[in-house]
Amino acid sequence: MLSSSEVFSTIDMIRDQKLDIRTITMGISLLECAGSNTPQKVYDLICRRARDLVRTGQDIEREFGIPIVNKRIAVTPVSLILGENEDPLLIAAALERAAREVGVNFIGGYSALVQKGMTRSDERLILSIPEALSATNLVCSSVNVGSTRAGINMDAVSLMGRIIKQTAALTVQADGLGCAKLVAFANAVEDNPFMAGAFHGVGEGDAAINVGVSGPGVVKRALEKIKDQPFDAVAETVKKTAFRITRMGQLVAMEASRRLNTPFGIVDLSLAPTPSMGDSVAHILEEMGLERCGQHGTTAALMLLNDAVKKGGVMASSSVGGLSGAFIPLSEDIGMIDAAAKGTLTLDKLEAMTCVCSVGLDMIAVPGDTPAATLSAILADEAAIGVVNQKTTAVRLIPVPGKGVGEWVEFGGLLGRAPIIPVHGESAERFIGRGGRIPAPINSLKN
Amino acid sequence: MKAIITVIGSDRPGIIALVSAALYRCNVNILDINQTIMGGYFTMVMMVDLKEANRPFEACAAELDKAAEELGMEIRMQRNEIFDAMHRL
């Protein structure tokens, strides 16, 4: 029999420390839909495969008493199934309809992988992203512009700066909210369950269940008990906590996989913050002794956290994947929001932090008049960090139309709110205007 | 299927009576009970077996919800695997 203290420690984690399963994401291959009549085939296939996803998630939630916040779908990058005469926007509409029909809250995969070059289908899909994201609510889009093996496709980087601007312009009434559904990646992973960057990679099977766990609040509470102890103790505590959280994620993933008769893919053991109090990654870093997230020492603290989360989690799951680590989405983390509002957390510091966290510059509001070339240059920097360090990096920036530095933008719900922070004013036009490709780094030559 | 029931709230007469009556209606067998007062709060952990239950998990949980409302306490029933996953290798 479990002891009462063990039982209540789990209940405290769920009830007071906001431990949850952040998402059960079903990956669905759409490769069989290519050919003719693609939108209808896409709709039918998603509805058939994911018919029971939401209900199953709710059943598990009730029986195990663990909140499962999101139920989502990730599909094959749509550019891969886009026929020559097909309108990508019709596929976006089919994804939206299917997502509504099965009741998920996001569907990812309106995507293209262009790290080395761009097919005509890739280009047509990317050009349609602003309209697709303004015409739908649930569809998420991502574009992979670089990889350690291929280098950085600077033509794609340049194009994405313009696409981000256009997406903001077409969703002007919602303060550029369309950009919250658009991620530009380097080294995108094929089994990431988190939005907006989830897609079902071409190396995957027909379908897979990927589960993303969370739990910044649990880690913070555990660290509160070891105040002022050396970093070795901090790392050990984070590892043990991550192990417990991930075990729960593995249990839910296996249960969902069994009930949905869909192969288990991976558990993504990311610490994903939300804007509510007690669910902040920044507050974990501050618990380690920082006065405020963004000050000197922040990168070291985040490196320890990110590494210890992975070490603790990897033993707890039969297959760890996705992004796995600590997320730092500015508008979704109350501690980061405060630190940015006070000016401690800047874009440059965030860039440094992305060298050691699991993804990149995420949910950052910048002035609406930021030139497209500047957005591209930020993306190029971020891609460079990912490519040379053999890690995933990403950019999800929102140039808020008509707003400037110091003003606030409210996205609502899990997307949170953010102060608009400055970007460097120097022109990147000539730099980005070069185009071409930044070759793969020497450390890509491993064979 | 085994589950853990936790009861938390201010102590008062009839807690065990009402919770076990709800379980009896569902034909849920109580395997173990551990009860204590922690920081002025009544806390109880019960291990139960739903193998012979006369209704689905959700309906049993609904019976406990009724008892929780009557007692003004917090009652949860969760499958025991979640606790095992976290605390047992």
Residues of chain A with Cβ-Cβ distance to B80 below 8 Å are: 2
Interface contact B45-A251, CB threshold 8 A: no
Q: Is the pLDDT of residue A256 over 90?
A: yes
Domain count across chain A: 1
In chain B, which residues touch A (CB < 8 A)? 4, 6, 32, 34, 36, 43, 45, 47, 57-58, 61, 76-88
Residue appearing with tokens 């606790």? B83
A281 is a domain residue = yes
Question: What is the CATH classification number for the domain harbouring A116?
Answer: 3.20.70.20
A358 is a domain residue = yes
In chain A, which residues touch B (CB < 8 A)? 1-2, 4, 6-11, 62-66, 244, 247-248, 250-251
- Closest CB to A65: pick one of B43, B76, B85: B76
pLDDT at A2: 82
A447 is a domain residue = no
Question: Hey, what domains does chain B have and what are their CATH numbers?
Answer: 2-87 (3.30.70.260)
Distance CA A249, CA A212 (A): 7
Interface ipTM: 0.90
Mean pLDDT of A271-283: 92
Q: Find the closest chain A residue to B1 by CA distance.
A: A63
The 10s digit of each residue's pLDDT in A74-84 is: 999 999 999 98
Residues of chain A with Cβ-Cβ distance to B79 below 8 Å are: 63-65
Interface contact A65-B78, CB threshold 8 A: yes
A445 is a domain residue = no
Interface contact A6-B87, CB threshold 8 A: yes
A317 is a domain residue = yes
pTM here is 0.94
Residue ranges making up the domain that contains A432: 1-440
A86 is a domain residue = yes
Phi, psi angles (nearest 5°) of residue A146: -160, 160
Residues of chain A with Cβ-Cβ distance to B58 below 8 Å are: 62-63
The 10s digit of each residue's pLDDT in A140-193 is: 999 999 999 999 999 999 999 999 999 999 999 999 999 999 999 999 999 999
Tell me what the pLDDT averaged over chain A comes to: 96
- Closest CB to B86: pick one of A4, A65, A244: A244
Interface contact A62-B36, CB threshold 8 A: no
DSSP conformation class of B43: E
How far is B37 from chain A, CA to nearest CA, in Å?
Answer: 12
Q: Find the closest chain A residue to B62 by CA distance.
A: A62
Residue A410: pLDDT band with limits 50, 70, 90: very high
Mean pLDDT of A385-393: 96
And the tokens for B35?
A: 């009860």
Interface contact B86-A7, CB threshold 8 A: no
Residues of chain B with Cβ-Cβ distance to A11 below 8 Å are: 6, 76
The 10s digit of each residue's pLDDT in A4-56 is: 889 999 998 998 888 999 999 999 999 999 998 999 999 999 999 999 999 99
Distance CA A200, CA A113 (A): 12
Beta strands in A338-428 (DSSP E): 361-367, 393-400, 408-410, 417-419
A196 is a domain residue = yes
* Cβ-Cβ contacts under 8 Å for A4 (sequence gap 6 or more): B34, B36, B43, B45
Burial class of residue A224, CB neighbours in 10 A (0-12, 13-18, 19+): exposed
How far is B13 from chain A, CA to nearest CA, in Å?
Answer: 21
Q: Chains A and B: how many Cβ contacts under 8 Å?
A: 62
